[in-house]
Structure 1
Amino acid sequence: MPSMWLTDAQKVGVAFCSGGALFLFGGVLMFFDRAMLAMGNILFVLGLALIIGLPKTVLFFTRRPKLKGTAAFTGGVVLILLRWPLIGFLVELYGIFILFGDFFATIGSFAGNIPVIGPYLQKALNRASQASGGQRNAELPV
């Protein structure tokens, strides 16, 4: 099977982001376990830095339109670490929606290819993308 277009570091980054998403999901399932939520956040940010590179990650989080999302995401992580996991997760979720709202349409186009549930996921992610401003991939870091 031919190799994908990802480098080895990017493949590790995808694994870290996937692990981070699983830890976040597990943390929510375990009634907002703060250790799992914190580990999920660390893995997600580390994976993102490996996928797009450290300079582009810093540029992405420090752009003027993304500062509100960065502050909310960071504040949510701090609240989780200060033993307020439910409030922290909700604040963090808001930050993720602000930061990555532009990506929902792109994710929706890929999710549309999943058998059975793909069209429903694509429709929901396209609605979320339109709710976040409707600009499809206007300022992607890559």
Structure 2
Amino acid sequence: MLAVSEFQKIGIGLMGFGLFFLLFGMLLYFDSVLLGFGNILFLAGLMFIIGLRRTAHFFFQRHKFRGSLFFLGGVSLVLCRWPITGILVEGYGFVLLFRSFFPMAVGFVLSAVNIPFLNAFFPSSSSMV
């Protein structure tokens, strides 16, 4: 079993609250205060989970520089009270930062078809009969 430190537990809580405030800010017609608070909590939670040095290393790698620029620029636009433009820029930066992760996530979701409970929702075309 993987041991989770106290800082990582705090980070998980901060990221959860950050995602809640981001979702709640979008539901309330892009409220810039809630979106900004969600962004700050999300980034703080990320720093608590993986550490300050690894977070800086992740964002400032040479091949991820453009994605980091768009993501952090979107965060700053949200904090400057341009929420719709900021979220769009931030979303584009998120896609650029995590595009190498998307094939693995799609593979995981497609492997969920083999789980018996989810198999009822996703009928497979090939049968063993």
Normalising TM by the smaller chain, what interval? Answer: 0.7 to 0.9
Amino acid at match of 1:30: L
1:88 and 1:104 map into 2 onto residues whose CA distance is 22
User: Matched residues in 1 for 2:78 and 2:93: separation?
Assistant: 14
What is the Cα-based RMSD across aligned positions, in Å?
2.5
Whole-Å Cα distance in 2 between the matches of residues 81 and 11 of structure 1?
A: 27
Q: How many residues align?
A: 116
* Pair member with larger Rg: 2
Structure 2 gap segments, 5+ residues each:
123-129
| Aligned positions of 1:81-100 closer than 5 A | 81-100=79-98
- Residues in 1 aligned to 2:94 and 2:47: alpha-carbon distance in whole angstroms: 15
Percent identity over the alignment?
Answer: 41
TM-score by length of 1: 0.71
- Deviation, 1:91, is 0.3
For residue 62 of structure 1, the aligned residue among 57, 60, 77 is: 60
Aligned to 1:79: 77
Match of 1:129 in 2: none
What secondary structure, in the 3-state scheme, does the structure 1 residue paired with 2:69 have?
A: helix
Which 5+ residue runs of structure 1 have no aligned equivalent? 121-142
Q: What residue is the counterpart of 1:17 in the other structure?
A: 15
- Relative to structure 1, the CA distance from residue 103 to residue 14 in structure 2 (aligned partners, 3 Å threshold; closer, same or farther) is farther
Q: Distance in 1 between the 2:57 and 2:12 partners?
A: 20
1:1-142 paired onto structure 2 within 5 Å: 5-107=3-105, 109=108, 112=112, 116=118
User: SS state of the match for residue 102, structure 1?
Assistant: coil
Structure 1 residues 15 and 28: alpha-carbon distance in aligned structure 2, compared to 1, 3 A threshold: same
Q: Distance in 2 between matches of 1:10 and 1:106?
A: 24
User: What whole-Å deviation, never above 9, does each CA across 1:100-137 have from its counterpart, x for those lacking one?
Assistant: 23334555537947x649x88xxxxxxxxxxxxxxxxx
Cα deviation for residue 11 of structure 1 reads 1.2
TM-score, with structure 2 as normaliser: 0.77
Write the letter of the residue equivalent to 1:75: G
